[in-house]
Chains A and B, each alone.
Chain A
Amino acid sequence: KAGVTQTPRYLIKTRGQQVTLSCSPISGHRSVSWYQQTPGQGLQFLFEYFSETQRNKGNFPGRFSGRQFSNSRSEMNVSTLELGDSALYLCASSLGLATSTDTQYFGPGTRLTVL
């Protein structure tokens, strides 16, 4: 079974630009969660999508948005990029809702660098 895939793996953008990241979950998984990982803050939850609906949201500004398609693939968008948005963005999929009892499987991440 193929794992979670994320594209692109690396991105370099400049301040003020916008970026779209893509995530394909494991086949049959309906939940996709997005996380931001930085050395100082660790893994921080951005949002979760289940059956094309946002089910949970972390404490990030409105510049961070996402969506999920009918095939469970998900995209994350960051508008008006800031230097502090440089991070590894991880996507995780799970069969059902990503509760504490449901195993999440992570993709390799997209490394975003904002110059």
Chain B
Amino acid sequence: QKEVEQDPGPLSVPEGAIVSLNCTYSNSAFQYFMWYRQYSRKGPELLMYTYSSGNKEDGRFTAQVDKSSKYISLFIRDSQPSDSATYLCAMGAVGNEKLTFGTGTRLTIIP
């Protein structure tokens, strides 16, 4: 079993819909949680960064962490065609110098 599980999709939703992307993990040492967005033929770029449990909002994006369930989510409100990309979750532990990534979910927003 992988340390981080992420549904690869693909996921297609109409423009304006709310998108929910999720990851589960097994390592209880993870305390830092990130979401990266990767456009086709580009490298990943950091979207959201959260520490421990709770919610964090940035514009149309909300990151949610539930450490008791080992479950993290990214919500995208009022989705736009420009949100079409692959979304990767990533996690790290204090004192660990590397991140563990999910396999990514491919998202398409249909105009």
A residues with CB within 8 A of B: 4, 33, 35, 39-45, 48, 55-56, 58, 90, 92, 97-101, 103-109
Chain B residues closer than 8 Å to A42, beta-carbon distance: 6, 88, 101-104
Task: Identify B94's interface contact among A92, A97, A100, A106, CB under 8 A.
Answer: A100
CB of A108 within 8 A of CB of B43, answer: yes
Chain A residues closer than 8 Å to B97, beta-carbon distance: 48, 55-56, 97-100
Contact A100:B32 (CB < 8 A) given known A48-B98, A58-B98: yes
> Contacts A35-B101, A43-B104 given; 11 further ones with Cβ under 8 A?
A33-B98, A39-B8, A41-B103, A42-B101, A42-B104, A43-B88, A56-B98, A90-B44, A99-B96, A106-B36, A108-B43
Chain A residues closer than 8 Å to B31, beta-carbon distance: 100
* Residue B110 CB within 8 A of the other chain: no
Chain A residues closer than 8 Å to B45, beta-carbon distance: 105-106
Q: How large is the interface on B (under 10, 10 to 19, 20 to 34, 35 or more residues)?
A: 20 to 34
Which single residue of chain A is at the shortest CB-CB distance from B36? A106
Complex CA distance for A63 and B45, rounded to whole angstroms: 28
Complex CA distance for A106 and B43, rounded to whole angstroms: 5
Chain B residues closer than 8 Å to A108, beta-carbon distance: 41-43
Complex CA distance for A105 and B34, rounded to whole angstroms: 13
Which single residue of chain B is at the shortest CB-CB distance from A41? B103
